[in-house]
Amino acid sequence: MKRVLYTITFLFLVVFYSYSQERGQDVVYLKNGSIIRGIIIEQVPNKSIKLQTKDNNIFVYEIDEVEKIGKERVSFNPFDKITNPKNTYDINGYRGFVDFGYTSGIDKNVQLTTTHGYQLNPYFFAGAGTGISYFTNTESLLIPLFVDLRGNFTNGQIAPFIGLRMGYAIDVTNDYGGNGFYCNPFVGVKYMIGERLAVNLSLGYGTQTRKFSIDEYSSSTNIDGFNFKFGVEF
């Protein structure tokens, strides 16, 4: 698990470094005093140039209109879409989630859950959910019942978020109990693909307490592990 986390961290740093480096752009100085910045995508010697701006607008200038052409370096911030979103989504009212997850640990499990509740504003959601959680080692099936709280850091198309699930899980495959407290804090990022529809990825750490009793004997154990979830929001 540590090797996986180190690898993910290393790849993130490499991507961030490569995208945050300074990059060049063309600067066209016109004889009328205008200055146009972008990328020259076509140039006909001694006749014309075609330039594409950051906003994807395309301009064509006759060479007689151009005073000079230069280059300048610009810094690109990969988090611009997060910190300065072009499109915002002011969602409120009913909101639902469907998540598929996998938890590592002593007793690995796969989980399918659904949450329904109210988006109080673009940043805060409160609801409740349930689902099924299958533990592979003990071959047991649990049904979690939980409160689900989520907070978005922005209301843009790409929005990091933090969340907490807390409740109780019921073992439906064991005659000796197996029920217990359930808790799962997590962080993630969502991507809006429509006015209300979004997909998300999250990483969390889950704790499942399981209490067993046979006659007068009883015991409990905590099953912990990192979990990865993919979800759809609607």
Q: What is the mean pLDDT of each run of 10 residues along the chain (234 residues)?
A: 52 51 78 91 91 88 92 65 65 96 91 97 97 91 97 93 96 81 96 93 93 74 92 96
The confidence score (pLDDT) of residue 213 equals 74
Contact 150, 161 (CB under 8 A): yes
The confidence score (pLDDT) of residue 147 equals 98
- H or E stretch including 107? none
Q: Can you say how many angstroms the Cα of residue 57 is from the centroid of all Cα atoms in its chain? A: 30
Q: Hey, is 206 helix, strand or coil?
A: strand
Residue 89, token pair as written in the block: 């989504």
- Whole-number Å distance between alpha carbons of 71 and 61: 17
Contact 166, 150 (CB under 8 A): no
DSSP classification of residue 156: B
- Whole-number Å distance between alpha carbons of 94 and 22: 43
19-78 adopts what CATH topology?
A: SH3 type barrels. (2.30.30)
- Whole-number Å distance between alpha carbons of 114 and 165: 12
Residue type, 168: Y
Residue 134, token pair as written in the block: 């299958």
Residue 217, token pair as written in the block: 């004997």
The confidence score (pLDDT) of residue 87 equals 66
What stretch(es) of the chain map to CATH 2.40.160.20?
A: 86-233
* Residue where the block lists tokens 């099953």: 223
State which CATH number among 4.10.1240.10, 3.30.70.80, 3.20.20.70, 2.40.160.20 fits the domain covering 86-233.
Answer: 2.40.160.20
- Whole-number Å distance between alpha carbons of 156 and 122: 9
- Whole-number Å distance between alpha carbons of 61 and 40: 11
Closest to 201 measured CA to CA, from 171, 146, 167, 158: 158
Predicted TM-score (pTM) of this structure: 0.66
What stretch(es) of the chain map to CATH 2.30.30.100?
A: 19-78
The confidence score (pLDDT) of residue 86 equals 59
What does each C-alpha distance from 217 to 98, 176, 220 come to in angstroms? 38, 10, 11
The confidence score (pLDDT) of residue 23 equals 61
- Whole-number Å distance between alpha carbons of 94 and 162: 19
* Torsion angles phi and psi, residue 82, rounded to 5: -90, -50
CA atoms within 13 A on the CB side of 200: 29
The confidence score (pLDDT) of residue 4 equals 46
